[in-house]
Amino acid sequence: MTPLPVDHQAIWQRVVADLEKNGLQPREQAFLRLTKLLGLLDSNALLAVPYPHTKEMLETTLRQPIEDSLSRELGHDIRLAITVDEDLRQAVDDDDDLAPEPPVGTRGPGPGPGPGAAVPQTPAGPAGPAVTGIADDARLNPKYTFDTFVSGPSNRFAHAASLAVAESPARAYNPLFIYGESGLGKTHLLHAIGHYARSLYPGVRVRYVNSEEFTNDFINSIRDEKAGAFQRRYRNVDFLLIDDIQFLQGKEQTVEEFFHTFNTLHNSEKQVVITSDQPPKRLSGFAERLRSRFEWGLLTDVQPPDLETRLAILRKKAAQERMQMPDDVLELIGTRITTNIRELEGALIRVMAFGSLSGQQVTNDLAQHVLKDIVPGSDPSRITVMTIIDEVSDYFRISKDELCGTSRSRTLVNARQIAMYLCRELTELSLPKIGQAFGGRDHTTVMHAERKIRTQIGERRALYDQIAELTGIIRKASAR
Ligand SMILES: Nc1ncnc2c1ncn2[C@@H]1O[C@H](COP(=O)(O)OP(=O)(O)OP(=O)(O)O)[C@@H](O)[C@H]1O
């Protein structure tokens, strides 16, 4: 009797349904939908997947449940063999249904609104999570995509290199090293690489980390005797995106650990992207062997944007906030604030907030009035977190310990969030550094505070006034 032809597709569909029923992460479901059952031979099942990353994921976390389910389905023990079949990629690309998640951050055309961020825009404000709620460790900020990034002469090379490494991980440039002064978009590019890579290669493992968090994580892992877990976190990834590497300077043991992390990733052809406020040659406190590795791939800098790019950024930000801003107002802001894009955004937010609070059309006069408080002699390097903490606690008549402590009383939480917001606006410190100054809080807490105040400043007149007043007080105190 001729055996009936085996319908592999039907078997696989039943196995996927069975696995889904037993609770899988959306990403894992997506992996399975990208997978094809090619054949069955005795106790072996051959699966084909489009990308090496998918294979790795299946082999590490999904092998056992798949084998169990296939064994149940076929009534005998099954072992998996997994192969990468590049032909499947075309099918994935052609068939939207096979895409596991809506693409996060697609390639933007540069200035102008672009195709619209595919990333769900997290509502700024208390309800919005600080980072994506995806069930993995990528830790990407949904707002920082290539769609929301404006490229211009000051960052064109860094932008193009970032796109290239996302598209051809470990093949274009490895590592990619982006350096430049504070507030010029390095962090934004790192996150954008992560989002874009994930949209191109579903299942790719991305990890973003600031080097201060890397240090803390490392120290804790030694304390808790969890070195193995630490190494897995940073070495079992396809993209390691490490921000502000200069903060590792002089931390010998952490630098040593990073050196091994780097080598492991580089040797296994995983992409490393590093940002820093200095080029490798000027980074002190790193062994030469590590500094030279930073130069193995591509070095590129980001410069302060020219006027045209500043205007394009302002236009894009205003459009994102759904605000109509007259051109002369944007020009005023763009000509006043020239060196730091974070400050540029901060000024725009204040002008928009003032307009919406006062119910007035935003005019050049109104913008002049608002900017007067923000811009004069602004020298963020002179303003310290300590001054901000001193002045904010004085202002609210609370102690510094209360401001930086853990009490969740409304007044204290509000004052704390205002202080964190002001630290973001008026200093160049990174999120983790600010978090540290406020009783060792996580960087996501600072991010959340910044977003919350940003939203509320345009809704609550009293808050706007407090922040304007405090800015003046802090500037004055720092000028003394
Ligand atoms: N080219 C750009 N287009 C749109 N927004 C930008 C651009 N460059 C920077 N920004 C915005 O400016 C702000 C500051 O940028 P970012 O945090 O990436 O700077 P950075 O260089 O990493 O600074 P730091 O060294 O202080 O961490 C962010 O909100 C970012 O979205």
- pLDDT band of residue 137 (cuts 50, 70, 90) is low
Alpha carbon of 280 to ligand 1 centroid (Å): 20
CA distance 128 to 125: 6
* Residue that is written with structure tokens 């003394």 in the block: 480
Q: Is the CB of 212 under 6 A from ligand 1?
A: no
What domains, with CATH codes, occur in the chain? 8-91 (3.30.300.180), 146-301 (3.40.50.300), 307-371 (1.10.8.60), 385-479 (1.10.1750.10)
Q: Indicate if ligand 1 lies below 6 Å from the C-beta of 342.
A: yes
H-assigned helices in 34-86: 52-57, 63-74
Mean pLDDT score across all residues of the chain: 82
203 is in an annotated binding site: no
Distance of CA 234 to the CA centre of its chain: 16
Confidence of residue 41 (pLDDT cuts 50, 70, 90): low
Q: Average the pLDDT over each of 6-10, 219-223, 284-288 and give the range with the smallest value.
A: 6-10
Higher pLDDT, 414 or 46: 414
* 8 A C-beta contact, residue 111 and residue 312: yes
DSSP for 127-157 reads TS-SS---SSS----TT-SSTTPPP-TTTHH
**Which residue owns the Cα nearest ligand 1 atom 8?**
185
Residue nearest to atom 31 of ligand 1 (CA): 188
Q: How confident is the model at residue 86 (pLDDT cuts 50, 70, 90)?
A: low
Most confident of 28-37, 216-225, 356-365: 216-225
Q: What is the ipTM of this complex?
A: 0.98
User: How much distance in Å is there from the Cα of 346 to the middle of ligand 1?
Assistant: 12
| Residue 128: pLDDT over 60 | no
pLDDT at position 47 is 79
Measure 270 CA to ligand 1 centroid, in angstroms.
Answer: 25
Q: Does residue 430 line the site of ligand 1, with CB under 6 A?
A: yes
Does pLDDT of 119 surpass 60? no
Mutate to test the pocket of ligand 1, among 140, 156, 184, 193 (most ligand atoms within 8 A of CB): 184
- Rounded CA separation 272/478 (Å): 39
183 is known to lie in a ligand binding site: yes
Quick check: CB of 188 below 6 Å from ligand 1? yes
Average pLDDT, integer, range 164-171: 93
pLDDT at 385: 93
Closest ligand 1 atom to residue 191 Cα is 18
Q: Strand pairing partners for 206? A: 239
305 CB burial (10 A radius; 0-12, 13-18, 19+): buried
Mean of pLDDT values over 431-435: 89
Residue 313 near ligand 1, beta carbon < 6 Å:
yes
- Residue 316 marked in a binding site: no
Query: What distance, in Å, lies between the first and last C-alpha atoms of the chain?
Result: 97
- Read off the DSSP letter of residue 171: T
Task: For residue 185, say whether it is annotated as part of any ligand binding site.
Answer: yes
Name, of 8-12, 42-46, 306-310, 428-432, the range with top average pLDDT.
Answer: 306-310
Q: Are 329 and 306 in contact (CB under 8 A)?
A: no
Q: Examine the pLDDT at 157 and tell me if it is beyond 50.
A: yes
In this structure, the residue with its CA closest to atom 5 of ligand 1 is 149
